[in-house]
Structures are given as structure tokens and as C-alpha cells.
Structure 1
Amino acid sequence: MQLNDSSAIVTGGASGLGAATARALAAQGAEVFALDLPAAIAGAPAVDGVTLVAADVTDPAQVRAAVQTAGAGAALRTVVNCAGIAPSARILGRSGVHDPALFDTVVRVNLLGTFLVMSAAAEVIAQQTPDAQGQRGVVVNTASIAAYDGQVGQVAYAASKSAVVGMTLPAARDLASHGIRVCTIAPGIVDTPMLATVSDEYRANLAASVPFPQRLCDPIEYAQLVTMIVAHDYLNGETIRMDGALRMGPR
């Protein structure tokens, strides 16, 4: 599928994986709408071809409004869901039982947010003119290797990302008749703002745990994989691990 003269939505688009993906899609000719919370957008730099849109992915009305904005110009064909949070808490920790509200928040952002954007965007993409192969668009969701190797304190995060993996194949099957592909990327340890607060020693230890290449993943590499999925018309219903062969230990 070609990105030129089309529009794309990227959630969590003001920083990290989302910002790198927005830049990569814009560089290939897409008109990109980067959705994020107002506070995140306030500090984001301007990028040619990328329009920042304030939206909470857990709010159906805000999601639908943002999707309509993205679909008002060039044909909407690409959606990349990067928005996510990863707070840590054990089921039973020193401060007591895992807060149900925290668990609910993680699931709402990581899973419900992904579903809301995918479903609202699919409704618009399904109205586009198909290409010669009958293809109208592609959705790329973001899971994590925590979906398979969840560590201590990741029960909410791992549950939400496992659900994103589990949603991939049925979503691809649901949307196949509309010419929409669905794939998921499960990244390993990526050098995003989530890691900005940890020490250099801790970062070095994380990098050393990766078999090869023995370093943290660059968000640009995630963006490269997104563009590969968009271009590869036969990739559908698949979750791709991008982790340097890392398998996480329990802690």
C-alpha cells in the first residue's frame, strides 16, 4: 500500500514510538494526524506533515472527532496505535493489594483505547476507494514482549498487552471484507521517555540483557517496521516481536 497522498493517524504521537512513527509516515508522503493528550502536545516540536490533535483515546467522542478530522482531507488509510502507559504494581505488595482503579486505567488506555481508535478509523477507511488488490487500509497496533514475558509488577500492563495480541487475528478477520489489514508489533526494551528517569547504570544493564544487538531499541526502528508492514500487502493478522531475541526474566 502506498502512503503518498493519503492520511494517517498515530496515537501517542507527541513523543516516543508515536513521534518517530509520525515522522516516518510523513516522510513517505502521508498527511499525519498525531493524537495525544493536551499536556503532551504542549511540549512537542512542530514537524512538517504532522498535525497534532488533542484527544484522549479512552473517550469515544474525542476519538470519533479526531478520526473525522483526519478523514476530512486525503483518504485515511493508515492507523498506528502507540498510546500506552506502564505503571508498575504487584498484586500484593508492601502497600497492600493492587489498586483496582489503576488496573482499570491501564486496561482502558492500552486496550480500550486501541480498540476505540481502530474501530472508529475502520469505519472511515472502509469508505475509501480500494486499490487494484482490493485494499483500503492498514491498522498497526502496539503490544509488548510483556504480553509473553510479563515481569513482577506488570500484571496490569501484561494483561492489557496480551489482550492487544489476542485482538489481532479476530480484528484482521473482522475487517478483511473491508480490505483492511491488521497487524501488531510487540517491542522489547525501547529507548523512549518512559526510560528517561532511570540511571545510566540501569539502562546499561537493560541493554546488556538483550542477546543481539546488545543495546536498547531506537524508536526509529519501530517506525521502520511500521512502514514495512504498510508496504507489505500480505502481512495480516500477525504479531511481530521486535526485541533482539530478548526473553524477559521474572524481574
Structure 2
Amino acid sequence: MTLYAPYNFVPLNKKVVIPHWIDRISHDVPFKDGESGEFKVRITAKTPIFVKDGLSKEEEAKKYDKDGIQITPHEFCQHNGQYYIPGSSIKGMVRNVLEIMSFGRMDKVNDHRYAVRDLNNKELYQSHFGVDKVYGGWLQKDESNQYTISGWGFPGRISHQELQDKYGVDFHTYFSKGGRFDPKKDTEKAGKKKYDKFGNNSRKGTFSFLKEDAKREIYTVTEDEQVGREGELVFTGQSGYREYNH
């Protein structure tokens, strides 16, 4: 299977010059000696164009079956049978080209890298997705700069209440519904938040199997090495913030 990148990327200048009067620029208060005008743009479709029609959540849901598989195709953007390309789509494309041509300061870019996530492609993604197919391991870099993964088998899970009771950290009261956890903040959703809250407690310990829940093995903390097994707590969450302040 071959995946193609749908965009061509333009190299950016290494240095961005920001004028000292940048905080005084506003579309509402133009320069007294500024100029305004208009320009005409001719757009040629070199490849087929498809702009999906906007649908409500209820209308969008009707296009999929109970398993999330699309059963009816999306339609081109239209109004009363008249097809059109929304003005916002045209303005966005023109703005991007103008920024490139004028060496403008491009702020709609970032250095994030994303993995493949295509929930409509069962062969590529969904067939490998499931709690019973996840295995844990440690990624390590050896002296020859080679990376290896040492497997630790099927991971177990432990409740926030258990961590709070055994280690004295307010995981359950903080992250449970009604707690102080704010899902709208990236700093709250990052894995680092949990590591910080766990503090200097040792994440290594002995854990015993408690029960199975929806193909997930639930464990509890124990001091009895005869009934438990050694392990190390690993906290989940976003690997980094979606927005950065440089």
C-alpha cells in the first residue's frame, strides 16, 4: 500500500524580521498613508476538486452504520442544487499563496508530526486496533546509537482510586468527574501532569491481578511477592502540548 502526501511544502526563511510597530497594526485602523485596492485571480483546476457539503451532526451520522462504516457518499458543496466552492476555501488558498509570494510571516504552520490515523481504512488501521492487541515495552538506545524495544508483555491497569489510597496522591479526586481536571487545557491532558502529581514516589513495585474488565487486566498494589509480580507504573496522556510558547 502506498501513501501519498497531498501537499507540496515551501521552505521558509530561517530568520523572521518583526518590526517594532507590529503591535500597532490593525485592519480596523489602517495607516493614514496606506493604500487599498483589489486584484483578480484566475484559478485553474489541475486536478479534480471536491469540497464536502456542510452537514449537521445528525445528518453526518446517517451516512455511517453502527460499526462506523460509511454507507452513503458525501456530496459536493451545494445550495438548492447549485454547486459552489465556499468563499472561505478560496480566501484561505489565496492567503497562503500571497504569504509565500510576499515572504510574509507564516503563522499557520507548526513542527508537529502525526502518525497514520485513518479510521475509514480497516486494513491499514482498524484491524490492528484493540485493547487485546496492545503490548508494553521499553524503547532504549544502546552505545552504538541503535534503538531496541524490550518487550514486557500485555500491560495491566490500575485505578486512580488505588493509586490515591496506596501512594497518597489525589489522582481520583482530581481526575474523576467533578474534580479539578480541566480537559480543555493541554497541560492537563499531557502525561507529564500525572508524573508531576505522583511526585517522588517510586513507580516500581509489586502488583497482583484483581480482575478482567472488557479484555483489560486490572491490578492492585501488594507487598506480597508470592501472589504478585514486579512491575513499573507508566502514566498515559498526550506526549506533548499542542501549542507551544517559544
Structure number with the bigger relative contact order (C-alpha 8 A, sep ≥ 6) is 1
Q: TM-score under structure 1 normalisation? A: 0.21
Q: TM-score under structure 2 normalisation? A: 0.21
Give 1 or 2: higher helix fraction.
1
